[in-house]
Chains A and B, each alone.
Chain A
Amino acid sequence: MDAVMVLPVGASVVLWLAGARLGRWLPPPTGVRLLSAAALVTALATGFVLAVAAFVALAEIPPVAALGHWSAGAVHTGDPIPMPVSDTVGLLSGVTVTALLGAALLHTTRAGRDLVLAAMTCRRLGPGAAGLVVVDDDQPDAYALPGVGGRVVVSTAMLRALPAEERRVLLAHETAHLVHRHHLYVQVAELAAAANPLLRPSAQAVRAGAERWADEVAAAEVGDRRLAARALARAGLARTAASARRVPAALGAADTGVGDRARALLAAPPRRRRVLATAVTALVLATVGAAAQTAHDTEHRFELAQAAYLASR
């Protein structure tokens, strides 16, 4: 165990504590890109250092060392943590990394299946007109369906609930999701969170940030932030009223995102926050550096241990 190996875990804790706030403070396009990249890098780096810690602990067991032609004692040389403690840490690391890898694989399977399903639905829906598919339905609903080209799906009830200028906001919002491939950022962040639960707040921030990003694109397209906020308000109220008619209990499962998004649109446009963005970038680079250093140190350690093994024969 080296001190540098703790850094990815530290980065995870920082993102766990600050992920939600970073998502609110950074301008949406920057926040979504940076946080999904940070989540991916941190998840990979954490998995890597845990796997290395587990492998080193395994390598210190004499029969394993004999099998690998290295000196069990030499592997531990220079490790600041005493042998029994580092063995325990190694065992815990091994168990953790196995469980997390399993969770990540399960998530990948599910998300992959859903993405394939969405792409197949896109194909079956046909080209639509300029990517828009109108569905005759009395439940106000609108969503972007990712796939080759993607489709914007809107129900007739949603179209009727909004005046033309607010329909324009809705269509611009959903099209922005497809144009900027928001589902990829969201999927990357969700995968990272599956592989490292400390990244859950960052994944939620990426999801919320993608909505804010699409809101800002729509507001810029119509040139009126209040109009964009009104479209959100009317669509949200229409949907909630219809849901309450259908299943009164469904209101319990409401999320708070729409109110926050409307408030953000009524406030001034987001500021650039260059210093904060630079700090997050530095954290990502430091995490990459720590993983690279760990790889280098471990390789070096095993070279020495193999030399010691050969010298002792």
Chain B
Amino acid sequence: MASPAARPRGALEREVLGCLAAAGRPLTANDVLADLGGGLAYTTVMTTLSRLHAKGVLTRESSGRAYAYSLADALETVPASLTARGMRRLLDAGEDRASVLARFVADLSPADERLLADLLDDRARREDRG
């Protein structure tokens, strides 16, 4: 298997942000490291968190000897949510209008749903054995 390539610029910031948004609670650098895993160094995660804090994207509070970071804006209050939701309505309006956006996944056909569920099941079975 090929080894992971170096992350492009900004990729780790996006991953850290995604991690904090998914957690929905303040996380320390150790929490983030445990979630992201994948051979990252503690200092790398720490640097990224500090940089995002310096940009004003994250707030931090003391949690024992470390800082716990959370998203600076409670997501519900971000006008972005409304704007992006309006965009999604546009996206859902029809095939023709959807041409501008590139969506990660669309709804699945029943056949694809079975195929993809099997794909995840295989993995789970192999992990059980191993």
Across the interface, name the chain B residue whose C-beta is closest to A173. Answer: B104
With contacts A135-B75, A136-B81, A256-B112 taken as known, whether A164 is within 8 angstroms of B37 at the C-beta atoms is yes
B4 contacts which of A121, A156, A222 (Cβ < 8 Å)?
A222
Which residues of chain B have C-beta atoms less than 8 A from A220's C-beta?
2, 5
A187 contacts which of B9, B86, B99 (Cβ < 8 Å)?
B99
Asked whether any CB of chain B lies closer than 8 Å to the CB of A79, the reply is no
Binds B, one of A39-47, A49-57, A258-266, A274-282: A258-266
With contacts A125-B83, A135-B81, A182-B102 taken as known, whether A160 is within 8 angstroms of B22 at the C-beta atoms is yes
Interface size on A, residues (CB 8 A): 85
CB <8 Å contact, B22 and A167:
yes
Asked whether any CB of chain A lies closer than 8 Å to the CB of B66, the reply is no
Which residues of chain A have C-beta atoms less than 8 A from B97's C-beta?
110, 114
Q: Contact size class for B?
A: 35 or more
Which A residues between 126 and 185 are near B, CB-CB below 8 angstroms? Answer: 126, 128-137, 139, 141-146, 152-154, 156, 158-160, 162, 164-165, 167-168, 170-175, 177, 179, 182-183
Cα A72 to Cα B18 in complex, Å, equals 71
CB <8 Å contact, B88 and A141:
yes
Which residues of chain A have C-beta atoms less than 8 A from B87's C-beta?
117-118, 121, 145, 153
Which residues of chain B have C-beta atoms less than 8 A from A168's C-beta?
11, 15, 36, 38
B75 contacts which of A156, A171, A221, A233 (Cβ < 8 Å)?
A156
Cα A172 to Cα B111 in complex, Å, equals 27
Which residues of chain A have C-beta atoms less than 8 A from B41's C-beta?
none
Closest 5 A-B residue pairs measured CB to CB?
A259-B112, A130-B10, A223-B4, A136-B75, A233-B116
> Can you name 4 extra interface pairs (CB under 8 A) apart from A130-B13, A236-B112?
A223-B3, A236-B116, A255-B107, A256-B109
